[in-house]
Structure 1
């Protein structure tokens, strides 16, 4: 995530601060970054498709901390993926699949502790998980928005419009998009690191970032490699900034590299470079004021004309994101904003529609699993059986039993008094010679005589049933999330 090695180069301007500094301000928060951190505590359940609210509890805890400092949060979640970032997404997806196979293999072989590391590496944060957080935010009147594409561009746009006064994220890409105040390394004590764009002039001479233009900074990260391009092999940020500072122009930079002969330029690099610069500069975002799709920065007409000479419209607009056409309801390359279906994009932005497939409603993950689990419960003559192949937590088991008990449409079959435990008790008494006649004990148990001596090591079926009911009542009431939250 981000530009490798970029933050270490900015170490001299990384200021340790407290959240007290931002009291009374609104800060944008990278929602998916927090979801990734929150998923570590429940990775096993997320990968296996088990219900869990632990990632929501992470948000609740962090929100309480922000509130104690008088900070207003503004969550921004990722939307659809950009075609220009396809290679990066494919690599990450393949790595998750590989780690998932290892995690399940270790788990099934009994190496539970070792498997947990791989479960954490293969978690895929989904829009359905984000929807769970959105529902909580909506109930508690906390601002949030789903970006048309990447949250980075959306958060920088909110900062440009002064809707937020800073951005909480671990992604260094934000500084390339134009972020002016980046807040990173936030811990549970309200301590964090602040990086301000205005401090670029304080960087050491070997990394004179303040002497580069906005385009020059983008050229530098493209040469060394970022999410949009792998860059040129063996060229790091220090070498890249020297080349940009010396030649200023990408064509002159590439000519110098070819003459030097020390580095091999990939055939597709120049095309990747142009697409990356456009994605950094003009990516599609959603304006919460006008409630319309716009671009991070206005696209000058000369840029469009210049790109049209090199690439067709589809290639160009794929870099900044395709939008939904009013007439066809399909994602197309559209220049005229009047042809964009802003209403559908508004519903995506507010979490009503799935950003990957706008024809589907976005459903809360936990609510979906709750509905799915209810549909899997089959009632036949009052006997309930849950068809589920995955391992469920004991809390989930008790929750299901309690919910079934409260459902008046399902009648429970009376508990049948089995002689199994009595038989075991009889055998034990026989061995210990504590009774003259086994038959007398059996007859007493059937008649329900209260004079029967009870062992403190054994219980009747009725006692077990009563104990289970008490456990169910205790488990179903012990939760931090409101009981009706998932309803």
Structure 2
């Protein structure tokens, strides 16, 4: 993919040159770049099948590559189609990230289909598909159409490193590619993004010092700057792009990674340096220098340049490994499909290469190695920008309208974000705790919690946090200012997030319905707390000083403050009496008020300042009516759902509890865990809660969650799970 922003920073698109200016030269073509570009373009312009899938793009892609080859051959050049080989070990994380991105593109495509945006959906589908192995056969077929002028060349691993070797050893005069990494692999002359008319941007490595303004230039200095700016072999330091990378390299006392990282910390203290970055950086540097490639004249696998003795083959395995001659021949000639190891449909006999390839091809043992580098006179040439030939879709709408509301957006991504707010679609899930999110960025932030890395530290109290935004919210605790005021009541808050949480109190709609009873809640966390404490009887918060346990963390904190400390921080402003919790202070406040809002319905003359006094009166005076009074009191605390819309009908108690009493037949795995083959939902959940309680599997950082032992993990399929939602993980074990 190359380094982001490398083309404008290095001024690589300022000299359009036509391929005809390189007549008589040997060209090495980064052919997979053209395959990917052609595939994407074909997918965007092709029609959709009835099931909203895209057709096979191979014929159209191969046709577009053939047009490029025909243009090169017509200019009087010989061309080698250099194709990618096996996946480079050093790039394993990058390949996994790309696979994840393809999954995300499928989700985005589905969202576009739901919005009726088929044109945009096709683009996401195009990005999510994978090039078929049959492409190798087709590329060899192209070479066969131009005998003596075009040859297929399969690289051991990445085509980039193989192209660098060919260019550095004068086995080709020019490299044609879309990838800025050609310069990192030491290619001295590159024609970038050449189109079917033969126009591309010509760039020479000797132009790099001028573009960067460096009087003293070295390949090591340039290479480490580009790695720091983000390459495919190492995770980027947040906030460091190519411009900042240049500033860091120029300011660093030397080019050691230790010195470079110290300079990063000095110039950009907010940049979070990933763990093991120094090791990853050095491995990326060695990958550019010592990647495994093929010496085509000997047909042997070797490395771009000989590594020093202390860098063993075992250590350098991340940069590819050396193959046997037989394996090397099969890969170079395209005799096997690298994904499966099966023979390709078009096998070339490696035993008679001299008969198959002319002496002008370096696969022939009679090939004479060039001793002089061809020089090209490209000055004075003027031509159209290569991009003018691109058939990009100019009819893409510049405005995107939301079908759910009247809002209009200037880019598709913002519309899709808006769609999530309407549909509550949460397509991105955490593979560790199964929590779901509406946006990929939110999932990425969430994953930092599981990483355990707390790089954001409060300078006042020393607490550390996984994310900068959480630290920002925490800093409000050290500030007395409360700038965020509710527009529906006088309350003020220190942070905007606290204000938004508070505003849910004013909502009349109770959107979250408990499936186990007829109660509904305004907030999802209230529903989860209700399920955990009422239906599953979980009391995960234990006092470490006595045997008591509690359903909620604030109850535990209140208990510790009242029983195990002598602190009484809550002071009455009227009489200066102190209390150990706010509830006690609120009850005491009634003493100083003349109001008696709590009235007995049976003896109306009896009124009380506090509700617990009325309850005591009912217990002493009207014990027969106590149960009815308590039920009425509980109902009064939770008013029915009201809104401007017609409220949804509540499920009758019988139907809502039916799921709980239904007897399920359990899978052998679950039956072994709980000790029975048939159980109801509530019994299953309670049994698992008993296991968590007995083995003390609670998450020490959040007691609403638990970490499963080996038996639980085998059944639930996750390591960490939310106790209130455990039944949702058992569907595959129930009949």
1:197 is aligned to 2:180: no
Q: Deviations 1:318-372 (Å, cap 9, x if unpaired)?
A: 2211344xxxxxxxxxxxxxxxx211121111100122343x11347xxxxxxxx
Q: CA contact under 8 A between 1:76 and 1:151: conserved in structure 2?
A: yes
Out of 199, 204, 223, the position equivalent to 1:218 is 223
Tell me by how many angstroms 1:101 deviates: 4.7
Q: Deviations 1:98-127 (Å, cap 9, x if unpaired)?
A: 323544676699754333212221231243
- Residues 54 and 108 of structure 1: CA distance in aligned 2, closer, same or farther (over 3 Å): farther
Of 109-118 and 9-18, the range deviating more from structure 2: 109-118
Q: Which residue of 2 aligns with 1:128?
A: 134
Q: Which residue of 2 aligns with 1:258?
A: 265
Q: Which residue of 2 aligns with 1:149?
A: 157
Question: What is the TM-score normalised by the length of structure 1?
Answer: 0.63
Q: Which residue of 2 aligns with 1:25?
A: 25
Partner of 2:297: helix, strand, or coil?
coil
1:204-283 equivalence runs, <5 A: 204-205=212-213, 208=214, 211-246=216-251, 247-249=253-255, 250-259=257-266, 261-283=269-291
Q: CA contact under 8 A between 1:82 and 1:318: conserved in structure 2?
A: no
CA distance in 2, matches of 1:156, 1:100: 35
CA distance in 2, matches of 1:202, 1:106: 45
Q: CA contact under 8 A between 1:233 and 1:263: conserved in structure 2?
A: yes
Q: Deviations 1:139-168 (Å, cap 9, x if unpaired)?
A: 533212111100000011111222211111
1:93-172 equivalence runs, <5 A: 93-103=99-109, 112-141=118-147, 142-172=150-180
Q: Deviations 1:422-453 (Å, cap 9, x if unpaired)?
A: xxxxxxxxxxxxxxxxxxxxxxxxxxxxxxxx
1:72-83 equivalence runs, <5 A: 72-83=78-89
- Residues 5 and 50 of structure 1: CA distance in aligned 2, closer, same or farther (over 3 Å): closer
Q: CA contact under 8 A between 2:302 and 2:322: conserved in structure 1?
A: no
CA distance in 2, matches of 1:221, 1:36: 24
- Residues 278 and 204 of structure 1: CA distance in aligned 2, closer, same or farther (over 3 Å): closer
Out of 362, 369, 372, the position equivalent to 2:344 is 362
Of 247-256 and 289-298, the range deviating more from structure 2: 247-256
Partner of 2:64: helix, strand, or coil?
helix
Unaligned runs of 5+ in 2: 347-735
Tell me by how many angstroms 1:131 deviates: 2.4
CA distance in 2, matches of 1:287, 1:107: 49
- Residues 62 and 200 of structure 1: CA distance in aligned 2, closer, same or farther (over 3 Å): same
Q: CA contact under 8 A between 1:219 and 1:277: conserved in structure 2?
A: yes
1:384-403 equivalence runs, <5 A: none
Question: What is the TM-score normalised by the length of structure 2?
Answer: 0.43
Q: Deviations 1:215-268 (Å, cap 9, x if unpaired)?
A: 222211222211001232212222222332332222222223335534322122
TM-align CA RMSD:
2.6
Q: CA contact under 8 A between 2:10 and 2:212: conserved in structure 1?
A: no
Q: Which residue of 2 aligns with 1:448?
A: none
More helix by share: 1
Higher relative contact order (CA 8 A, sep 6+): 1
Unaligned runs of 5+ in 1: 305-312, 325-340, 365-487
Q: CA contact under 8 A between 2:39 and 2:57: conserved in structure 1?
A: no
- The structure with the larger Rg is 2
Q: Which residue of 1 aligns with 2:317?
A: 318
Q: CA contact under 8 A between 1:13 and 1:202: conserved in structure 2?
A: no
Q: Deviations 1:431-482 (Å, cap 9, x if unpaired)?
A: xxxxxxxxxxxxxxxxxxxxxxxxxxxxxxxxxxxxxxxxxxxxxxxxxxxx
Partner of 1:301: helix, strand, or coil?
coil
Partner of 2:16: helix, strand, or coil?
strand
1:328-347 equivalence runs, <5 A: 341-347=324-330
Q: Deviations 1:18-64 (Å, cap 9, x if unpaired)?
A: 21211111111111111112213543699756485111211222222
CA distance in 2, matches of 1:154, 1:283: 9
Q: CA contact under 8 A between 1:159 and 1:165: conserved in structure 2?
A: yes
- Residues 6 and 41 of structure 1: CA distance in aligned 2, closer, same or farther (over 3 Å): closer
Q: CA contact under 8 A between 2:24 and 2:78: conserved in structure 1?
A: yes
1:179 is aligned to 2:162: no
Partner of 2:338: helix, strand, or coil?
coil
Q: CA contact under 8 A between 1:224 and 1:230: conserved in structure 2?
A: no
Q: CA contact under 8 A between 1:278 and 1:320: conserved in structure 2?
A: yes
Q: Which residue of 1 aligns with 2:7?
A: 7
CA distance in 2, matches of 1:110, 1:12: 39
- Residues 357 and 296 of structure 1: CA distance in aligned 2, closer, same or farther (over 3 Å): farther
1:380-419 equivalence runs, <5 A: none
1:285 is aligned to 2:293: yes
